[in-house]
Structure 1
Amino acid sequence: MRLRPVPVALSSISLSLSLSSSLAVAQTAPTAAQLEEVVVTARRREETLQKVPVAVTALTREHLEKSSVQELENLTAVVPGFRFSFEGGANNVSLSLRGLGITPLGEGVPSVVVYSNDVPLPKVGGNIATYDLNTIQVLKGPQGTLFGRNTIGGAVLLSPKTPDYRQDAYLRFGVGNYQSSLLEGGANVTLADDIAALRVAGQIRRRDATEDNLAEGGADTNQIDQQSLRVSLRTDITETFSNNIVFDYYKSDRAPGSDHVVGYNPGIVQGAFAPVLGAATAIAYEQAIAEQLAQLIAAGAHTIGNNFHNDGNSRTHREQTEIWGVANTTEYHFEHMSLRNIFGYRRVSSSITANTQGIGDINGPLGNLIIYHLESLDEKAYLTNELQLVGKGDGVDWIMGAFYSHDKPTHAMGTSAQAFNLLAFGVSDIHTTALTENENYALFGQVAYHLTDKVTLNIGARYSWDNIEGCGVGGRSSFLDWSDCKDTGVQTVKAEGDAPTWTLGLDYRLSSNIFLYATHRRGYRGVNINTPQFSSIFTTGGTDPTCVVGAGQCPDLRPYQTVDEEQIDDIEFGLKADWSIGTMAGRSNLSLFHTDHTDAVQFVTVRGAVPTSAPDNPTRSSVAINAANLTIQGLEFELTLAPTDRLVVGLNGTYIDQTVDDINIPAIGTQQLTKNNVTLPTPKFSGTATVRYEAGQPIFGGNLAVSLDYFYTDSWDAQSGVSLPSYDLLNARLDLSELASENVRISLWCRNLLNEEYTSAPGTLGPSLPARTAFYGDPRTFGLEVNVAL
């Protein structure tokens, strides 16, 4: 097997190289295998990956296909230490690396930012399709002294294929179980030789539901129905001046995966209803809930009881997302430096409705009871611009730049909910408007001083300024836009912050095949806010019978109106080595890291402590708080063996120890955050073993290759200290390529070959609702694909 060196456009210093994705075997001798060097541009110039202080899982297009990666969610089983999950609904992605995850509330910067064409993407609707890409790169650790947004956990970089001056095209189509279908294609068109080229690519995916709904009249869930389009225009105006503009479009309209009942918190409904409806009525509803939860737990995976269609609001369990964006990169090359400008603009419209308890009709003496039905609507525009100047001189490589981002709502938006509502008393549909506007400015730079031909000193710095403003109001029958929200008389909530970050590292090339490095980084996540403004008796410590969780005593949330910066300080040591034993080539990489996480944000639910009808009920009935200080440390390793030029075996993994040092907040209502219920989003251990084998001789007139990926993860603290269990997955693929004059490839693929039943994301695991819920990963899926090069 031979893979060409792939330039990988990365963006920051991190650690641990992913084994299987960085591997390429060259057929230089019939009896000896060789690991081919992979070229990266991690510091905005081409360098050998094994000789730069960069930890990156660089998944080439070939590797994405062999691991059957079809969307970002699939990366969890390919990149140990990385977790793709959801918080608050299937359209709100949650990415975590090295124990650092997303803040599911507010509009703060995620711990891990996804980029496409070097433009940061919003977290809403982030589970996008991975088609017509050159690479996906996963970077670990704080980012920001070399490019883009400052992040504390890492970055995921999507590099779509750019136009070139070859007239080529491909078409891929496939079918599979659950009536799945795929149609994908891409083509280059030369508009003017060496001056202008166009690339058009698109994808359509469909799949029927994989989850059975036991609720009468309720639709089955976990469908796929999406389409994507990307159009890129490249112009090389002169030998030194070029421009690349990319338009992309994505749409999804489906019944997403639903909450599954995985546990029971007894006494919630009984305690809430007894003071108002009497003990007998309260007990009857509590028993009805307990019976249905027991039935759903016994039914197991891929079986739900979703009655969202039957709550009087004429809505169904649905996720509808439409995103379009423009990315434009302009470059001008001087003799010893390059000037680059990266502009991005995106519009996001996304709504999701969900039965967060995953249960059907609950009937009692007063009729049907709705526990917690939720709708969330996001309508926002995002603008970014980044200016870079990259150069080199005698013994020095450097980059300096400026970054700006601005996002704001384009329409009325927020969340609406029915909570603990008896339909006999009327349909409840309480809307809470949540509008936020963010601005970020930053200056950054990094210098690599080559002290000797073996030793390099890396120094980088960044200074960022953050501004966020929000307007919110609850207890309405519809969402409000900016002007209407401000006209209600509530004050906007504002927060401002600024902070420096930096990188300091030393590299030592011990020999041509052994590379050592040490790095210290400071990272931070900017200020945030909780909306609406807390001003009523329900959020300022007053008393009211509707504050049922506090027995009439409402919480004082004013100390948590704004959220301060989080700070990260980490130290990493790394070793990268290539070696051989006889005819076998090997690669072994190891990294050790220690991270201090100060003022870590957690979210605390106030459901029941603050009534949903309150005019200042917090968005999603939860508040984000600087709650804890943590210590995170661990190691990442990889081992790659190529016994022959046709067989490649890999093993990589991540071990992380997360310790909560102290808690900084008192109880809110009856919700007390302790060291035991802090959310720690990364499992202690996860690892992947891979095998790639090529037959090496024609079979059925083509080249036969087999790929196996085995993934294992420990249990992990998904939410409020409640863990989701460990699981393992086996994925397989069979490719018969170079058919019909080497233009056709036929592939058989299977994900979750052993049909493992596993929970992949939290729903509502805390103690404030009767049901503890989680989302299940897909059952066994398989299919046939045909790829034709035109």
Structure 2
Amino acid sequence: MSITLATLLLQAASTPAAPPVEPPPAAQEDAATSATGRLGPAQPAGGDIVVTARRRTESVQTVPLAVSVIGGTALSDTGAYNVSRLTQIQPTLQFYSTNPRNSAANIRGLGAPFGLTNDGIEQGVGIYVDQVYYSRIASATFDFTDTERIEVLRGPQGTLYGKNTTAGAINITTRKPSFTPEARVEFSTGNYEFIQAKASASGPLIADTLAIRLSASVTSRRGTIHNVRTGADVNAQDNKSLRGQLLWQAAPNLDLTLYADYNHQDPDCCAQIFARVGTTQRPVWRQYDALAAAFGYQPPSRNAFDRLTDLDTPLRAKQELGGASLVANWDLGAATLTSVSAYRFWDWDPSNDRDFIGLPITTVSANPSQQKQWSQELRVASNGKHTIDYVAGLFYFRQTIDTQGLQVQGPAASRFLLNPGTPPFGANGCATAAANACNPAVLNGLTARNTIGFTNTSAAAFGKVTWHISDAFSIAPGLRVNYDKKSGSYVSVVTTGSGSTTLNADQRGVLAPQSYQPDFDNWNVSGDITAAWNVARDVHAYATYARNYKSGGINLSGLPLDANNNPILSAATVRPEKVNHYELGLKTQFLDRRATVNIAGFWTEIDDYQATVTNGQLGVLRGYLANAGKVRTRGVEVDTAFRPTARLNLYANGAFTDAKYVKFTDAPCPPELAGGTTATAANPASPAGQAGTAARPSYSPSFCDVSGQRLPGISKWAFSYGAEYAVPLAAGGNIYVGYDGSYRSGFSSNPSESIYTNIDGYALSNFRLGYRADRGLNAFLWLRNAFDKDYYELLATQSGNTGLIVGQPGDPRTYGVTVSASF
């Protein structure tokens, strides 16, 4: 490309400032959106991508915030049919999941602490579907059905959205009911017995007054990991969904839309499998290899990409989720009043193998959970463009969660979790015949039944005013007043294999009875201010400062224990995060809008960052919440799209994200610095990864200073890029070939960085070849992860510092065909 960004800026400086092009009217919104390019801001000459990121209809290029748009066609073509798969086309979006409940979405490295989900805190990335807030990321793990577009908003969004979100928002908009009859169908099939079918239909029930849209989706796929113990293939997919909408045009200026949806998922999922072994500071006879040898055990493969496991606990990831909402829009002339009333539910029925191998260490690990939420948002937004535009709203939210946890230890637990003493060992492998480590009955059948309750109430008033000082310059301050109250109850009753509640010290060290009732409530005021400058017709700049808060929370996964194995009640609550966010952005188009280059730079600092930490005990409490001192993330994002000819679309998006702990002096230690005797002044900490021996015990620090280390789960570099070339046919339609690629650099997969859980960077390539007719037919072959790249989505440690590292391999190469048609 001969025109550089510098050239563009020089041209802009000599061009008189002009007001932005107004977006098409609302009646043309669907057409404007469908006219966009393949991904993001690529668009044909003269076209505009219409978004509602600021709760009004605007062109994406004039919105003064970092936002990416993905249309429904692009979702289908790239195979991005759920939130997880969006990460391959959105570089600043990260999504991690060991099962639907333990899922987290982050933007720019922020949003949710890395590790096991804790229901007692908020998510920093808001998920909205047709303006309804989804309070848990797990409730948004559905397949996209009848989706018109997805907007990924980066940065704090508390002054425009009902629920406060400090990292960003994913705003999903489905297709609306139509008064013109229409239908869409899509069918895909591929290897691993992959089948996906989607269908929707819409039309009037009463002309110009009442319209309906119905849609359905089914996805199934055989698992990619083979369990040699059961003969089953696990990490499968089995999703079914129904969605309905009823639009009533009650008056020319009043419409009401009733939404309802139901999703059912019941796959054989979700397995993490043997990846590698790393030496901890446990005594050498208590390292993983020595413990496995004591049972004569070997995993079916020590290479995770053989995709074999021998898990001996049945896997289940069953969930039902759905709800109903009513959205009303009343055009009052100068402003539109919007009401969003919603109810949602999520029922979770899991079964996991939390020792990750085919030995009966933990035989049951399950936390069935039932969530309900109610929300009401009332919002008013000015219509048209005036000297002063505004959005203001009230929001109320209430959520309840009930969880019934069950943890059962098996006959191998004593040897893995208890200390056999110091050599010399007897014939049974213990220092004394009476050692509990060599008595399977001590922990066999040890059971914790956890009853967990949670109530979350939130209310807010929010608003944003845009003052158009001139056609070229505007100032937009925003304010939010928020109240949050969280209360919970955690009761863990522990019994021995014989049913007794009288426990010895070793048993309490593994599963300790706990009972506590945490409570948190807090008011806070946050705000932001944005200055926007229309440098030229197609050059727009902005600068934003935001002071934001993420609500404090309560620990609902159990508390760490003191020296007497009693819960440390001071850890029951965590303080709110305090966020300072700075951002500069430039949005440009040139070559008759056939080229788009958008740049955003950001700097975000968070005090009292809510982190997941792990205790140094041997027990199954794997993580709880605590406040790190301070974190900082900064970076630059570039979104580009080019349409040099009518036949060719190109895009390239990139993100540089530098995220680190600025101050975290009492963090949990990584596995290579854990598992030994607690270090003292007389016995300082041993070198990392040095196993203890009888002659030379190893000593572990009680905590580690990780200040300056990178935050987990974040790649410093991430890119997505692709192209599509189409050849018109004389008979109509075109043949096209497309490529979509992504790359992310290495990242840490542990809250405190560990040499054992660092994940290498990787690149993925996807291809498609198809035929697109002039009227609604699209058929294409697809090949994803074309070069069969072996990569990990996650790495984790086995509880108890044995040194076992388990992983979640990414999908292997898949291929298939998709046919879609619209009528």
TM-score band by shorter chain is 0.7 to 0.9
1:716 aligns with 2:725: no
1:188 to 191, 202, 211: 202
| Aligned-partner SS, 2:61 | helix
Q: Which residue of 2 aligns with 1:58?
A: 69
Q: For 1:246 and 1:603, how far apart are their aligned partners in 2?
A: 36
> Shift in Å at residue 185 of structure 1?
0.5
Partner of residue 408, structure 1: 400
Deviations 1:111-133 (A, max 9, x none): 21211111111222432101211
8 Å Cα contact 1:470-1:492 kept in structure 2: yes
Q: CA deviation at 1:187?
A: 0.4
Summarize deviations over 1:660-684 as a string: whole Å, max 9, x none: 2111537698652431777432210
* Contact 1:174–1:786 under 8 Å retained in 2: yes
- 1:607-663: per-residue Cα shift (whole Å, max 9, x none)? 635x45xxxxxxx54210002311211100122222211101111100011232111
Match of 1:146 in 2: 160
Counterpart check, 1:594 vs 2:603:
yes
Equivalent-residue separation in structure 2 for 1:86 and 1:743 (angstroms): 35
1:477 Cα deviation from its structure 2 partner: 6.9
Seen in structure 2, the aligned counterparts of structure 1 residues 244 and 527 have a Cα distance that, compared at 3 Å, is: same
CA contact (8 A) 1:649 1:692 kept: yes
Tell me: CA distance 1:466–1:477, structure 2 relative to 1, closer, same or farther (3 Å): farther
SS at match of 1:188: strand
Q: What residue is the counterpart of 2:108 in the other structure? A: 98
Offset, 1:351: 2.2
Any idea what SS the aligned residue of 1:356 has?
A: coil
1:590-615 Cα distance to aligned partner (Å, 9 max, x none): 11111111111111223635x45xxx
Select the residue among 604, 617, 628 that pairs with 1:608: 617
Structure 1 range deviating more: 673-682 or 64-73: 673-682
List aligned pairs for 1:440-455, cutoff 5 A: 440-455=458-473
Match of 2:266 in 1: 253
State the 1:407 CA deviation: 0.6
| Residue 449 (structure 1) shift | 0.1
Of 449, 453, 457, the match for 2:475: 457
User: What residue in structure 2 maps to residue 235 of structure 1?
Assistant: 248
Q: 1:707 and 2:738 equivalent?
A: yes
Cα distance, 1:759–1:417 mapped onto 2, change above 3 Å: farther
On the 8 A contact 1:702/1:738 being kept in 2, the answer is yes
1:378 maps to what in 2? 369
1:689 aligns with 2:721: yes
Structure 1 distance, partners of 2:351, 2:261, is: 26
Structure-to-structure mapping, 1:317-466, within 5 angstroms: 317-361=315-359, 369-370=360-361, 374-391=365-382, 394-409=386-401, 411-418=402-409, 421=413, 424-425=440-441, 426-466=444-484
Deviation at 1:416, TM superposition (A): 2.8
Correspondent of 2:302 among 297, 300, 303: 297
Residue 787 of structure 2: which of 728, 750, 754 is its match? Answer: 754
| Partner amino acid, structure 2, of 1:450 | H
- Kept in 2, the 8 Å contact 1:745–1:786? The answer is yes
Q: Describe the superposition over 1:290-326 as per-residue Cα deviations: whole angstroms up to 9, x where unpaired.
A: 9736x63335352223121xxxxxxx11110001211
Aligned partners of 1:150 and 1:525 also within 8 Å? yes
Aligned 8 A contact 1:117 1:327 in 2: no
Letter in 1 for 2:779: I
Residue 491 of structure 1, CA deviation:
4.7
Q: 503, 518, 522: which one pairs with 1:493?
A: 518
Report if aligned partners of 2:253, 2:331 keep a CA contact under 8 Å in 1: yes
After TM superposition, give the deviation of residue 372 of structure 1 in Å.
7.3
Is the deviation greater in 755-764 or in 636-645? 755-764
Deviating more after overlay: 53-62 vs 228-237: 53-62
The alpha carbon displacement at 1:716 in A equals 1.2
Q: Decide whether aligned partners of structure 1 residues 240 and 523 sit closer, same or farther in structure 2, where only a CA change above 3 A counts.
A: same
After superposition, the Cα gap between the structure-2 partners of 1:628 and 1:6, relative to the gap in structure 1 and judged at 3 Å, is: farther
- Correspondence list, 1:82-231, <5 A: 82-86=93-97, 89-103=99-113, 104-121=117-134, 122-214=136-228, 216-217=229-230, 219-231=232-244
* Corresponding residue number in structure 2 for 1:730: 765
What are the superposed Cα offsets for residues 240-282 of structure 1, whole Å, 9 maximum, x if unpaired?
11100110111100112410222324468868979xxxxxxx9
Identity of aligned residues (%): 22
1:306 aligns with 2:311: yes
Structure 1 position 342, deviation (Å): 0.6
Contact 1:94 1:102 in 2 (8 A): yes
Partner Cα distance (1:389, 1:226) in 2: 37
Give the distance between the partners of 1:635 and 1:621, measured in 2 at CA.
Answer: 35
Judged with a 3 Å threshold, the aligned counterparts in structure 2 of structure 1 residues 19 and 474 are, in CA distance, closer, same or farther, namely farther
Following the alignment from structure 1 to structure 2, what is the Cα–Cα distance between the partners of residues 9 and 301?
52
C-alpha displacement at 1:376, in angstroms?
2.0
Assess, with a 3 A threshold, how the Cα gap between structure 1 residues 776 and 243 changes in structure 2: closer, same or farther.
same
CA distance in 1, matches of 2:519, 2:745: 40
1:434 shift after superposition? 2.2
Post-superposition offset of 1:557: 2.6
> Is this contact kept in 2: 1:607–1:622, CA < 8 A?
no
Whether the 8 Å CA contact 2:476–2:531 is kept in 1: the answer is yes
Aligned to 1:557: 568
> In the alignment, which of 659, 664, 672 is matched to residue 703 of structure 2?
672
Contact 2:622 2:799 survives alignment (8 Å): no
Deviates more, 1:729-738 or 1:443-452: 729-738
Task: With the length of structure 2 as denominator, give the TM-score of the two structures.
Answer: 0.81
Q: Secondary structure at the match of 1:42?
A: coil
Output the amino acid matched with 1:123.
Answer: I
Structure 1's unaligned 5+ residue stretches are: 11-17, 27-33, 275-281, 309-315, 362-368, 479-487, 544-553, 613-619
Aligned to 1:662: 663
Show the counterpart of 2:533: 508
Tell me how far 1:43 sits from its aligned partner: 2.6
* Alpha-carbon distance in structure 1 between the residues aligned to 2:193 and 2:557: 45
Letter in 1 for 2:714: T
Cα RMSD for the two superposed structures: 3.0
- Equivalent residue for 1:287? 293
The C-alpha deviation readout for 1:376-404, integer Å capped at 9, x for no partner, is 21111011111101125740100110111
**Cα pair 1:473 1:532 within 8 Å, conserved:** no
Moved more, 596-605 or 190-199: 596-605
Instruction: Quote the Cα distance in structure 2 between the aligned partners of 1:533 and 1:636.
Output: 39
Q: Aligned pair in 2 of structure 1 residues 458, 767: CA closer, same or farther (>3 Å)?
A: farther
Alignment check: 8 A CA contact 2:37 2:649 kept: no
Amino acid at match of 1:106: D
1:771 aligns with 2:796: no
Identify which range, 744-753 or 382-391, moves more after superposition: 744-753
Distance 1:135 1:6 in 2: 17
SS, match of residue 105 in structure 1: coil
- What is the CA distance between 1:447 and its match in structure 2? 0.2
Q: Which runs of 5+ in 2 are unaligned?
A: 1-22, 30-35, 415-438, 497-512, 670-677, 679-700
Closer, same or farther: CA 358–531 of 1 in aligned 2, 3 Å: closer
- Equivalent residue pairs, number: 712
